[in-house]
């Protein structure tokens, strides 16, 4: 049996908590329920989120709304071409009164960090995030500092075809649990959005739905969701299929397999189940795996994409039988 958290809200029905979070974000972002749910699932896993799309579709507002929905310390980093790694991690400054160097934390020292337009800065500065994303620590001037718990990086980026952008390193892409795209709203949704924004921006009026301690409690409960050994082998088979695919130069890593399992656990959790089924894995497969796949140049030239290949793999890798259904610890 799952133990009840000590937080103020009742989490007996986690799907109800997620519904409240989605409703809160939808005050700002119209008509993107599925995308909002996937982002919340990543938060419940403690996973980082990469949001890629063309300018002006609301990427930054989406992240701000998501951050304000959770009552955590929030900071924003606006990445620019001249930014240095110390602008992210922090720097030691000499204090003349004490005759000692004092560390001044950078904006990365927060629970939720918005890395806005992350691919507009140089690869050197992008690399400053690698330790923080994987180990929840930063090293400055030879000293390592632990980041607060929880730590979540929510990054936005413009497509590489746009001027002034740098490709994210493969090691950094692999550290993002999921990658999402907003897309343009439908005409009626855009008209509704204009009405909401006519007098003031709704993001300024958002109130937290979840406290920091409650988020940590939910993250701990997600990890107790049962995953049958057959489904673990199914996830590994998916990863193996990407590594053997003729159009892929670099397939999914073991970190990707773990991310898919965690995402499937959270997907089952928000559906009110204590065990994972294959549909949970398939629901999170594209957004979890596709951005990690590095295609051969020939495949890219013919118009193939990581999303299409991941979708094909999801359709072709055999699904385990129903032995696990209804399993509990």
pLDDT in tens, 268-317: 999 989 999 999 999 999 999 999 999 999 988 998 999 999 999 999 99
In this model, does residue 4 exceed pLDDT 80?
Answer: no
Give yes or no for a contact between 212 and 263, defined as CB atoms under 8 angstroms apart: no
| pLDDT interval class at 195 (50, 70, 90) | confident
With a CB cutoff of 8 Å and minimum separation 6, the contacts of 99 are none
Q: Which helix (H) or strand (E) holds 235?
A: helix 229-244
pLDDT, one tens digit per residue, over 215-252 is 999 999 999 999 999 999 999 999 999 999 999 999 99
What is the average per-residue pLDDT within 2-11?
42
pLDDT of residue 3: 37
Rg (CA), the chain: 20
Predicted TM-score (pTM) of this structure: 0.86
pLDDT of residue 164: 65
| Strand spans (E) along 21-85 | 48-52, 70-71, 74-78
Rounded CA gap, 21 and 107, in Å? 25
* pLDDT, mean over the chain: 87
pLDDT of residue 163: 62
In this model, does residue 31 exceed pLDDT 50?
Answer: yes
State what percent of residues in the chain have pLDDT above 90: 47
What is the average per-residue pLDDT within 93-110?
85
């Amino acid at each position: 049996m799952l133990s009840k958290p000590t937080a103020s809200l009742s989490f007996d029905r986690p799907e109800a908590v997620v519904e409240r979070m989605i409703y809160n974000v939808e005050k700002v972002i119209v008509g993107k329920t599925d995308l909002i749910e996937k982002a919340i699932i990543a938060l419940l896993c403690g996973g980082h989120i990469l949001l890629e799309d063309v300018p002006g579709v609301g990427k930054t507002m989406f992240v701000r709304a998501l951050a304000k929905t959770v009552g955590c310390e929030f900071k924003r980093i606006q990445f620019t071409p001249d930014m240095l790694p110390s602008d992210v991690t922090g720097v030691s400054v000499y204090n003349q009164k004490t005759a000692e160097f004092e560390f001044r934390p950078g904006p990365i020292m927060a629970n939720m960090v918005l890395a806005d337009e992350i691919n507009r800065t140089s690869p050197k500065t992008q690399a400053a995030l690698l330790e923080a994303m994987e180990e929840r620590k930063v090293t400055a001037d030879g000293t390592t500092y632990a980041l607060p718990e929880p730590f979540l990086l929510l990054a936005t980026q413009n497509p590489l075809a746009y001027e002034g952008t740098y490709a994210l390193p493969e090691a950094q892409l692999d550290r993002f649990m999921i990658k999402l795209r907003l897309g343009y709203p439908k005409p009626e949704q855009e008209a509704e959005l204009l009405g909401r924004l006519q007098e003031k921006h709704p993001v300024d009026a958002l109130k937290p739905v979840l406290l920091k301690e409650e988020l940590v409690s939910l993250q701990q409960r997600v990890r107790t969701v049962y995953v049958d050994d057959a489904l673990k082998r199914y996830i590994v088979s998916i990863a193996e299929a990407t590594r053997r695919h003729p159009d892929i130069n670099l397939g999914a890593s073991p970190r990707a397999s773990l991310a898919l399992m965690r995402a499937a656990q959270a997907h089952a959790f928000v559906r009110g189940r204590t065990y994972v089924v294959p549909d949970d894995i398939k629901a999170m497969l594209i957004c979890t795996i596709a951005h990690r796949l590095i295609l051969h140049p020939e495949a890219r030239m013919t118009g193939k994409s990581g999303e299409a290949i991941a979708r094909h793999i999801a359709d072709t890798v055999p699904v385990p039988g129903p032995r696990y259904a209804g399993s509990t610890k």
